[in-house]
Amino acid sequence: MADLYQVLGVSRDASNEEIKKAYRKLARQMHPDVNPDPGVADKFKEITAAYEILSDPEKRQNYEMGGSNFAGGFSGGFGFNDIMDAFFGGGGSRGPRPRSRPGQDALIRVEISLEEACFGCKRNLNVETAISCTSCSGSGCADGTKPVICDICKGRGEIQQVAKSFIGQVMTTRPCGSCQGFGTRITSPCSECAGEGRVRSRSEIEIDIPGGVESGNRMHLRGRGEVGPGGGNPGDLYVEIEVIEHEFFIRDGDDLHMELSIPMSAAALGRELEVESLDGMEKIEIKPGTQPGSIHRIASKGMSRLRGATRGDLYIHIGIEIPSKLSKKESELLRELSKLRGDDSHLGNRVRVSDLSEQGSGSFFTRFRDAFRG
């Protein structure tokens, strides 16, 4: 252990008054709120422990004789925070705390379809939350009564205690346990809310969900959350949107993507087809010689833009259906077609890596889909 006289910066024959004066000076310099240097709190504890020993005649004599029957730290029921309060003004009066306090916010999650997310919708929500008690109008008191001044703290909401320590008298201030710091007590609580000033209630509210919302978007309804204790102002209600995954469409921001599988004859010869969009059936033209992985774009048939008047686009990824079984007649016709085209001379040709995105039925769309769902 370091020399305690050196810790306090006094000589070994220093008087009790000199020791006390040195400690007070060091304690003010070493307070963590005054001195931001690292380790200052440990230094303060060290000088306090030294003072406790050297300021006590018996402990000081035992220390000078080389004994070990002394202990650092604090005695007499006082802790480090009490020392802080005594030196630096802690425990000052705060006054009674108000019974009326703001309420908490509430969060509700709502699932909607992709169509509802595109065009917007109305939704009725069942909300269970705290509302102001109608029987007592939020006061918490039975009819005809009101809170009374606490006879323990006299309305201050706190009590002060004074006790002696090795540095003199220490005053601490704590919330009054009789009134929980309010300064008043409800002697006749309301039978409906048991003095809380609010009760649980279920209600139904209608909200307008705008078009263009995405999963994770939140709607902010001010003042629709929980009423606070004592009739305090209500918090806010947040409605979080969750868009259900669609069976056919994949969303990419404001655009939509879908896969359309067509017969190989339609891809080779071309054909006019009808496809379903969020707005209904749309006609598209499949040009002769359409390849697997081709993309057909329909403008302004995607998602609505949030707080905008325009819409994204719908992209149709073309896949080619290859029959797994052929009749005898179909096989004969395909063999005849193969001879006419000279397909046998092209078997086994190498394909550039850059062309792989155009090979295979639906391969491009599958990778695109997995990227968004993965």
Ordered by where they begin, the domains of the chain are: 4-73 (1.10.287.110), 106-144+186-243 (2.60.260.20), 250-373 (2.60.260.20)
Q: CA-CA distance, 288 to 266, in Å (whole number)? A: 8
Q: What is the pLDDT of residue 34?
A: 59
Q: CA-CA distance, 361 to 292, in Å (whole number)? A: 6
How many other CB atoms are found less than 10 A from the CB of residue 243?
21
In the block, tokens 């959350």 appear at 225
Distance of CA 245 to the CA centre of its chain: 24
Name the 3-class secondary structure at 130: strand
| Residues 87/47, Cβ–Cβ less than 8 Å | no
* Tokens standing for residue 272: 């006019």
How many other CB atoms are found less than 10 A from the CB of residue 244?
13
Residues paired with 159 in a beta bridge: 174
Taking CA atoms, 99 is separated from 156, 179, 189, 302, in Å, by 13, 11, 13, 53
Q: CA-CA distance, 271 to 265, in Å (whole number)? A: 9
Q: CA-CA distance, 328 to 240, in Å (whole number)? A: 59
Tens of pLDDT, residue by residue over 201-241, are 999 999 999 999 999 999 999 999 999 999 899 999 999 99
Q: What is the DSSP string of 295-330?
A: EEEETT-SPBPTTSS-B--EEEEEEEEPPS---HHH
| pLDDT tops 50 at residue 84 | no
Q: CA-CA distance, 248 to 317, in Å (whole number)? A: 12
Span of 55-59, 84-88, 229-233, 237-241 with lowest mean pLDDT: 84-88
* Tokens standing for residue 249: 């469409």
| pLDDT tops 90 at residue 242 | yes
Q: CA-CA distance, 209 to 372, in Å (whole number)? A: 24
Q: Is the pTM of this model over 0.75?
A: no
| Residues 267/289, Cβ–Cβ less than 8 Å | yes
In the block, tokens 């000589």 appear at 11
| pLDDT tops 80 at residue 49 | yes
Q: What angle do CA 67, 71, 74 make, to 5 degrees?
A: 150
| Residues 176/158, Cβ–Cβ less than 8 Å | yes
In this prediction, what percent of the chain has a pLDDT beyond 70? 79
| Residues 225/236, Cβ–Cβ less than 8 Å | yes
Span of 11-25, 65-79, 242-256, 305-319 with lowest mean pLDDT: 65-79
Element (H, E) at 268: helix 264-269
| pLDDT tops 60 at residue 137 | yes
DSSP-derived secondary structure letter, 353: G
Tens of pLDDT, residue by residue over 273-304, are 999 999 999 999 999 999 999 999 999 999 99
Average pLDDT over residues 257-271: 94
Tens of pLDDT, residue by residue over 323-347, are 889 999 989 998 898 888 887 766 6
Q: What is the pLDDT of residue 24?
A: 82
| Residues 198/132, Cβ–Cβ less than 8 Å | yes
